Structure 1
Amino acid sequence: MAAATCLPAEDQLLCSICLDVFTDPVTLSCGHNFCNTCITAHWDTNVPHHCPVCNRLFHFRPELHVNTLISEMAAQIRHGAHQESRSSEQHAAKPGDVPCDVCTGPELKALKSCLVCLTSYCETHLEPHLTKSGLKRHQLIDPVKNLEDRMCKKHDKLLELFCKSDHMCVCMMCAMLDHKTHDVVAMKDECEGKKSELVKTEAEIQQMIEKRRVKIEEIRRSVELSNKAADREMEEGVQVFTALKETVERSQAELIKTITEKQRTTEKQAEGFITELQQEICDLKKRSSEVEQLSRSEDHLHLIQSFPSVNTAATAPTKDWAEVTITPPSYEGTVVRAVNQLKETLSEQMRLLYEVELKRVRRHAVPVTLDPDTAHPRLILSDDGKQVAYGDITKDLPPTPKKFSYCACVLGKQSISAGQVYYEVLIKGKTAWDLGVAEESVNRKGQIKANPQNGLWTISLRDGRRYYAPAGPTVHLCLTSQPEKVGVFVSYEEGLVSFYDADTAALIYSFTGCSFTGKLYPFFGPSPSDAGVNSAPLIICSVNQEEGIQHH
């Protein structure tokens, strides 16, 4: 049978120098014990050597040996103290924890709360509930605060039932007295039902979270595509403007070259005349010198003999410079001609640019059909919903909220509330029309003044030659050619409505910075037939994204 371990009290294992539990204890011949480091330090500063307790003198400094028995007992005491400290730290109640209601010293963290005793217990004080048969039947739950709130204020009984009729927790007395005709169930059963609902709710929440994660990825992909599109557009824009800049610089260089060449030709001609005149001056000076020398001669025979040749040479005919002039070159029109040439070059570049732009816009083409429920009674729609013309007879149709009853126009069936949309309308043979988009809320029962303020973004033709955009104020459009097919492009988020000559790719007009507040619909106004002059219909065309551009 193993012997029980019996340790002395902690105060019996204290060093009399440091007053702490022994560390490497040594025993002197007088029987007193000290820490090895303590007695060594004491003797290093105190001579002669003596015992700090009994003052026994030692003639020689004693050789020190560790007392293994006392060292082991001191080590066990230190280990027990450390374990107790760690246990106390681990179980000490922290802010937010439920403290033990029984502890009288430092508050320890409660492990369980008893719904019968209405008390919270730490690990030590919980033991009776785990071992005593009478307390084992008590209901233990995870520690909670304010256990008194779980008691019925009226009967001072535990709230352990749930009244489904009144949706409230009740005690046994409440169930028998105030809720005896109600649907009362055990709180545990109600909790199971609530847990099932919570599981379902949690699943729904997780589904909502997943949907939002998918939406985040969708938005990120959209931003990524937008960034790529922006980079591509920026790159193309830089290329276009670089080409335009090079064209302008080239035209400028050619202009400077032309003017410089004219200037150099004039200078070269002048230099030739000046050189010739200077040579003639030298010749004339030579003649003058010969004449002067002969006129001063005293040799009569020499003068008479030389006179004929000298006089003939002196009076020899020379070039008549009276009619010779330097006419400065004419620079009038040089800059104008250069600018016109540049304009033609830029126009060609713009045409190519418009072709690229229209091809890009055509990628957003959608099928559009006319909505007969919105058509004015005077209008005639084709069976396929692709053509509309102005009729001579007003049809007797019942009025509806969607129908235009005053202005002879019709809307498309397809609404525009997001993204980008493009469609084309054939207007060949017509002398008047209105095309564009209209808000769903546009006035359908009275006169409409076409402008964005009234929910209309359109362009119009009148008298076969007057094009304008009722932008408020009206913008008159100067077109180089009459379009036979008009393309309509809408970018909802960008607030843009653009009109193109679908054959030449020329931009006719753009409404920018628009504020759309609701659905938009394609808008068609064929205008009165004007005694047959404007009887041709407006025709919605199918868009071929690879269709070529006509060049005029």
Structure 2
Amino acid sequence: MASACTFLSEEQFRCSICLDVFTDPVSIPCGHNFCKNCITHHWDVNKTCECPMCKTVHHSRPELHVNTFISEMAANFRQSTKKKSSRMSLKKHTNSGEVLCDVCTESKTKALKSCLMCMTSYCETHLEPHHRIPGLKRHELIDPVENLEDRICKSHSKPLEMFCETDQMCVCRRCINIDHKPHRIVTLMDEYQSQKAVLGETEEEIQKMIEERRLKIQEMKDSVELSREDTEREKSDSVQVFTALIQNVENHLAQLLVLIEEKQKTKEEKAEGFIKELEDEISELMERSTEVELLTRTEDHLQFLQNLPSLNAAQPTKDWTEVRVHSSYEGMVRRAVAQLEEKLSEEVEKQLESELRRIQQYAVDITLDPDTANSKLILKNDGKQVNYCDAKHNLPDIQKRFSTCACVLGKQSFSSGKFYFEVQVKGKTKWELGIAREWVNRKGQITLSPRNGFWAIWLRNGSEYRAFAGPSVFLSLKSQPQKVGVFVDYEEGVVSFYDVDAAALIYSFTGCNFGCKLYPYFRPCNLDNGKNSAPLIISSVSDKGFSI
């Protein structure tokens, strides 16, 4: 917290009433801060609870509690101010410039020596008696310094010319015989040389730390620049992808609207045909109605009977009862959405393929660590394959080795950045893959979960896939992976598993807090009556024509 004070000004720690650094700072409801005694006295004198800063009046006196955060910050600020003053004082003493003669009255001359007995600094002229008079010759002369009183023991008024290593303080010769008799005493020169050597080492260490931090700053700047480039690339890719998706949606919508309009037009044309036919029949029937009416008015029996056969001619017989012009769009939207979903799935698959291709650029060379392998595992000489064997091998039970579970870790560890590797699981009915923390339990049964230091997935019974996120998550996969890719982004806390051949994401652990070295984790599992005899193979990373 002290370092944070260097970014804050003294004004931020001053009470606006007493104008001094806060003492027991309290916050009042309007948000302003004051010393507890200052604001209490202010309210007592003014007989009203008004904020001196914003003039907000509080109708009842607020209960005041010391703001511990501001109090600690103010205390640290005082401490940092004292350290700064101390450094300035040291700088002043170290680079104080010329020391002037204390005896010269008119034009002060540069001092040549300072006398610890006389407590005076002398120029060459006024120093002459110290070279001539026998009594003065015994005085201790040193190079000229200011503040000679600081070099005299306050208790005995003698020069501080010795150092007590026991109490870590400068002492005079009388102090040695009185207060420091049993202590380890050395001369100031000896202590000076000793501490100067230590200080030299400290200075080297400080310079080393400064250089390390400068390198770290540059590393962070470079990382931010790379991140910015990645961000711009991701933004560009995202805009391109979503523009294509939006275009697909708009195209499918336009096609659907055209189809609906065409269907409506067809229905209108069909309805117009029906209407024309009905109108023709109506005209024909109206003519027949007129003829019938005329015939019914005829009273001539012969004429009536002679004209009656012409009325019995065939009339329109079409049954229009079941004829409808339906406005049915059932299934059109569903079919359009299904087509769109199929198209979007194709785009998603393309993006997953592109994503996997980018991730493969972080491929690392992984080999198995035989010192961690359980005694029932067989590792190939190249460190790229591991098989299960029912018979135990006689291996030393070292601390790194898994003694109960038949698993093995990679040799390579990772504590920053991104890395990726691929493992062939073809021909296996059960396996486990993932990442493990350095400190995972190796001497008993293990439970896969992030809490226990594992981020892993497994296969059981040839088709049952699970991710051990605590609790486990059942994974429904479209196809059985023959090669699994494992990707880790340490800083982002992500562990992802991919079906390499299908370019499909299997599962991602997110929000992971690693906090230590990570190792690749492998478990080929038992032979399953010979059905699971195939090895786990760390394969070289390749994707559509390029390899890493």
Q: TM-score range by the shorter chain?
A: 0.5 to 0.7
Unaligned runs of 5+ in 1: 1-95, 104-108, 121-125
Q: Hey, what does 2:360 align to over in structure 1? A: 362
Q: Secondary structure at the match of 1:363?
A: helix
Alpha-carbon offset, residue 471 of structure 1: 2.1
Alpha-carbon offset, residue 535 of structure 1: 0.8
Q: Hey, what does 2:264 align to over in structure 1? A: 263
Alpha-carbon offset, residue 361 of structure 1: 0.9
| Partner AA of 1:469 in structure 2 | A
Q: Secondary structure at the match of 1:335?
A: helix
Q: Hey, what does 2:85 align to over in structure 1? A: none
Contact 2:295 2:304 in 1 (8 A): no
| Partner AA of 1:410 in structure 2 | V
1:496 to 494, 497, 521: 494
Q: Secondary structure at the match of 1:508?
A: strand
Alpha-carbon offset, residue 490 of structure 1: 1.4
Structure 2 residue 383 is matched with structure 1 residue 379: no
Alpha-carbon offset, residue 172 of structure 1: 7.1
Q: Hey, what does 2:54 align to over in structure 1? A: none
| Partner AA of 1:414 in structure 2 | Q
Closer, same or farther in 2 for the Cα pair 1:182/1:455, shift >3 Å?
closer
Alpha-carbon offset, residue 355 of structure 1: 0.7
Q: Hey, what does 2:17 align to over in structure 1? A: none
Unaligned runs of 5+ in 2: 1-91, 132-140
1:320 to 318, 322, 338: 318
Structure 2 residue 137 is matched with structure 1 residue 143: no
Alpha-carbon offset, residue 231 of structure 1: 2.7
Contact 1:110 1:143 in 2 (8 A): no
Q: Hey, what does 1:532 align to over in structure 2? A: 530
Give the 5 Å matches for 1:78-117: 114-116=114-116
Contact 1:129 1:136 in 2 (8 A): no
The CA RMSD over aligned residues, in Å, is 4.2
Q: Separation in 2 of the partners of 1:400 and 1:201?
A: 40
Contact 1:130 1:136 in 2 (8 A): no
Contact 1:410 1:525 in 2 (8 A): yes
Contact 1:433 1:460 in 2 (8 A): yes
Alpha-carbon offset, residue 506 of structure 1: 0.6
Contact 1:266 1:326 in 2 (8 A): no
Closer, same or farther in 2 for the Cα pair 1:195/1:322, shift >3 Å?
closer
Q: Hey, what does 1:422 align to over in structure 2? A: 420
Q: Secondary structure at the match of 1:248?
A: helix
Q: Hey, what does 1:289 align to over in structure 2? A: 290
Q: Hey, what does 1:334 align to over in structure 2? A: 332
Q: Separation in 1 of the partners of 2:418 and 2:472?
A: 26
Contact 1:417 1:518 in 2 (8 A): yes
Q: Secondary structure at the match of 1:442?
A: coil
Q: Hey, what does 2:209 align to over in structure 1? A: 208
Give the 5 Å matches for 1:448-467: 448-467=446-465
1:486 to 484, 487, 490: 484
Contact 1:101 1:119 in 2 (8 A): no
Contact 1:288 1:314 in 2 (8 A): no
Contact 2:449 2:456 in 1 (8 A): yes
Alpha-carbon offset, residue 352 of structure 1: 0.5
| Partner AA of 2:341 in structure 1 | K
Give the 5 Å matches for 1:249-260: 249-260=250-261
Closer, same or farther in 2 for the Cα pair 1:398/1:129, shift >3 Å?
closer
Q: Separation in 2 of the partners of 1:427 and 1:369?
A: 16
Contact 1:439 1:520 in 2 (8 A): yes
Closer, same or farther in 2 for the Cα pair 1:487/1:331, shift >3 Å?
same
1:396 to 394, 397, 410: 394
Alpha-carbon offset, residue 492 of structure 1: 1.6
Q: Secondary structure at the match of 2:362?
A: coil
Identity, in percent, stands at: 50
Alignment TM-score, normalising by the size of structure 2: 0.68
Q: Separation in 1 of the partners of 2:317 and 2:529?
A: 81
Alpha-carbon offset, residue 405 of structure 1: 2.0
Contact 1:164 1:185 in 2 (8 A): no
| Partner AA of 2:316 in structure 1 | T
Q: Separation in 1 of the partners of 2:256 and 2:543?
A: 41
Give the 5 Å matches for 1:506-517: 506-517=504-515
* Count of equivalent residues: 436
Q: Find the structure with the greater CA-based Rg.
A: 1
Contact 2:162 2:185 in 1 (8 A): no
Q: Hey, what does 2:445 align to over in structure 1? A: 447
Closer, same or farther in 2 for the Cα pair 1:110/1:291, shift >3 Å?
farther
Closer, same or farther in 2 for the Cα pair 1:243/1:196, shift >3 Å?
same
Alpha-carbon offset, residue 393 of structure 1: 1.5
Q: Separation in 1 of the partners of 2:383 and 2:240?
A: 43
Cα displacement string for residues 54-82 of structure 1 (whole angstroms, at most 9, x for unaligned residues): xxxxxxxxxxxxxxxxxxxxxxxxxxxxx
Q: Hey, what does 2:539 align to over in structure 1? A: 541
Alpha-carbon offset, residue 186 of structure 1: 7.1
Q: Secondary structure at the match of 1:510?
A: strand
